[in-house]
Amino acid sequence: MEKKNLDWANLSFSYMKTDKRFVANYRNGAWDDGQLTDDDKVVITECAGVLQYSQSCFEGLKAYTTEDGHVVCFRPDLNGQRMEDSCRRLEMPVFPTERFVDAVVETVKANLAWVPPYGSGATLYIRPYMFGSSAVIGVKPAEEYQFRILVTPVGPYFKGGAKPIVIRVSDFDRAAPHGTGHIKAGLNYAMSLHPIMDAHRQGYAENMYLDPATRTKVEETGGANFIFITKDGILVTPKSESILPSITRRSLLYVAEHYLGMKVEEREVPLAEVPSFAEVGLCGTAAVISPVGKIVNHDQEICVPSGMDNMGPVLTKLYDTLTGIQMGRIEAPEGWIKRIA
Ligand code: PLP
Ligand code: COI
């Protein structure tokens, strides 16, 4: 199969229309079989639930070309389960995990020419999403839904790839206590657009959000969880009911403990503790592991000891091990890698 003629090494994290996408429709209380289509346009009523009351959720995962030339994706069952959780919280019909995984495989298979080659630094980003497609005018869930999967080749989420970024502590919250921070609802991202643009205008790559109830504990950024490395080499990651349960973070905890013999702690992280950490990183599907070099909290500057030039040594080990597993250089734990081609 011939690959598309793209400048793989210089892709940004942006959308590019690929050949095929998956579409399934929910009507009269059931999902149809779904199918691949060439048509990238969505036609829905002007009064669709998604347009009026933002009834939508999504997922994000990646397909990789491995060292030995296969195409795989990473723990798609966990994305399927998380989407089920999102749907339940938003009163949307669940698209069952098993069908979700099959549809991911089918969509990637239909777009193999777009999967970046091994070693290019790029990956195929897979975006499953669902929205209320039938008309609602009173505040209530739609009766009909569309589930779709699009794929697009991407490069690094943060410009500069593995260069440490500067972030700020946000005065805005990303989630309410007992709200929707723990699911992947489109509305969480809509409300983050002003804080992120405001951060960018002031020269920051991202926001560090604090817990919305007390504003004293670290939560996450707009699109990634935090991992911290203590001076003793312990991996610490925030535990909170209002952050997204990142699949990358859950995987890194396992990798740290079982591959690298590190101690790991999932617990509350007071903002006041942040200056004591040796390394700070963001982790997620899009972010992979992105090092943080500086955190600005109004007039306080927290300079992370690992500095502004490179990723610190412990995050580098974690990064190499995780991406080694994803690209087939390191043996994966049972069930983590789904072979597609
Ligand atoms: N936190 C938020 C708010 C996100 O949008 C994402 C991306 O999906 C993550 C964390 C990282 O999650 P994952 O590792 O499952 O991609
Ligand atoms: C992902 O990492 O897949 C996300 O959905 C995060 C988003 C900021 C692109």
Instruction: Flag whether pLDDT at 71 surpasses 80.
Output: yes
220 lines ligand 1 (CB under 6 A): yes
Which numbered ligand comes closest to the C-alpha of 282?
Answer: 1
Q: Are 212 and 176 in contact (CB under 8 A)?
A: yes
Closest ligand 1 atom, CA of 247? Answer: 15
Instruction: Flag whether pLDDT at 246 surpasses 90.
Output: yes
290 lines ligand 1 (CB under 6 A): no
The string of pLDDT tens digits covering residues 112-150 is 999 999 999 999 999 999 999 999 999 999 999 999 999
Q: Nearest to residue 142, comparing CAs of 153, 157, 158, 131?
A: 131
User: 218 Cβ partners below 8 Å, 6+ apart?
Assistant: 208, 210, 211, 226, 238, 269, 270, 271, 274
Instruction: Give residue 337's Cα distance to chain centre.
Output: 17
Question: How close is the Cα of 138 to the center of ligand 2, in Å?
Answer: 31
Closest ligand 2 atom, CA of 285? Answer: 2
Instruction: Give residue 226's Cα distance to chain centre.
Output: 12
CA distance 102 to 31: 14
Question: How close is the Cα of 222 to the center of ligand 2, in Å?
Answer: 9
Instruction: Flag whether pLDDT at 231 surpasses 90.
Output: yes
Q: Kindly list the distances between the CA atom of residue 254 and the CA atoms of 182, 187, 202, 237, 334, in Å, as whole numbers in the listed order.
A: 20, 30, 36, 12, 12
Which numbered ligand comes closest to the C-alpha of 14?
Answer: 2
CA-based radius of gyration for the chain: 20
Question: How close is the Cα of 265 to the center of ligand 2, in Å?
Answer: 24
Instruction: Flag whether pLDDT at 304 surpasses 90.
Output: yes
Please work out, in degrees rounded to the nearest 5, the angle formed at the alpha carbon of residue 322 by the alpha carbons of 317 and 327: 125
Instruction: Flag whether pLDDT at 161 surpasses 90.
Output: no
Q: Nearest to residue 315, comparing CAs of 285, 286, 333, 290?
A: 290
Which residues form ligand 2's pocket by a CB distance below 6 Å? 60, 223, 284-286
Average pLDDT over the chain reads 97
At 108, the pLDDT band (50, 70, 90 cuts) reads very high
The string of pLDDT tens digits covering residues 8-29 is 999 999 999 999 999 999 999 9
**pLDDT value of position 273:** 98
% of the chain at pLDDT higher than 90:
97
Exactly one of 20, 62, 184, 338 is catalytic; which is it? 184
Please work out, in degrees rounded to the nearest 5, the angle formed at the alpha carbon of residue 171 by the alpha carbons of 227 and 247: 30
Instruction: Flag whether pLDDT at 225 surpasses 90.
Output: yes
Tokens of 36: 């691949």
Instruction: Flag whether pLDDT at 232 surpasses 80.
Output: yes
User: 232 Cβ partners below 8 Å, 6+ apart?
Assistant: 263
**pLDDT value of position 167:** 98
65 lines ligand 1 (CB under 6 A): no
Tokens of 102: 């099959």
Q: Are 104 and 126 in contact (CB under 8 A)?
A: yes
Instruction: Flag whether pLDDT at 1 surpasses 90.
Output: no
Helix (H) / strand (E) containing 199 = helix 193-201
At 170, the pLDDT band (50, 70, 90 cuts) reads very high
Q: Nearest to residue 185, comparing CAs of 78, 85, 288?
A: 85
Which numbered ligand comes closest to the C-alpha of 286?
Answer: 2
Q: What is the mean pLDDT of residues 208-236?
A: 97
Closest ligand 1 atom, CA of 60? Answer: 8
Instruction: Flag whether pLDDT at 160 surpasses 80.
Output: no
Q: Which residue of 83, 221, 285 sits with most ligand 1 atoms within 8 Å of its CB, as the best mutation to test the pocket?
A: 285
The string of pLDDT tens digits covering residues 30-52 is 999 999 999 999 999 999 999 99
> What sign for the dihedral angle of Cα 311, 317, 323, 328?
positive
CA distance 108 to 161: 24
At 162, the pLDDT band (50, 70, 90 cuts) reads confident
Q: Nearest to residue 2, comparing CAs of 119, 136, 78, 112?
A: 112
Closest ligand 2 atom, CA of 287? Answer: 2
248 lines ligand 1 (CB under 6 A): yes
Question: How close is the Cα of 42 to the center of ligand 1, in Å?
Answer: 25
Residue whose CA is closest, atom 9 of ligand 2?
286
Question: How close is the Cα of 124 to the center of ligand 2, in Å?
Answer: 13
DSSP 8-state secondary structure symbol assigned to residue 149: E
Q: Is 148 exposed, middle or buried (0-12, 13-18, 19+ CB in 10 A)?
A: buried
Residue whose CA is closest, atom 3 of ligand 1?
223
**184 a catalytic residue:** yes
CA distance 274 to 243: 18
The string of pLDDT tens digits covering residues 171-203 is 999 999 999 999 999 999 999 999 999 999 999
Answering whether pTM is above 0.95, one says yes
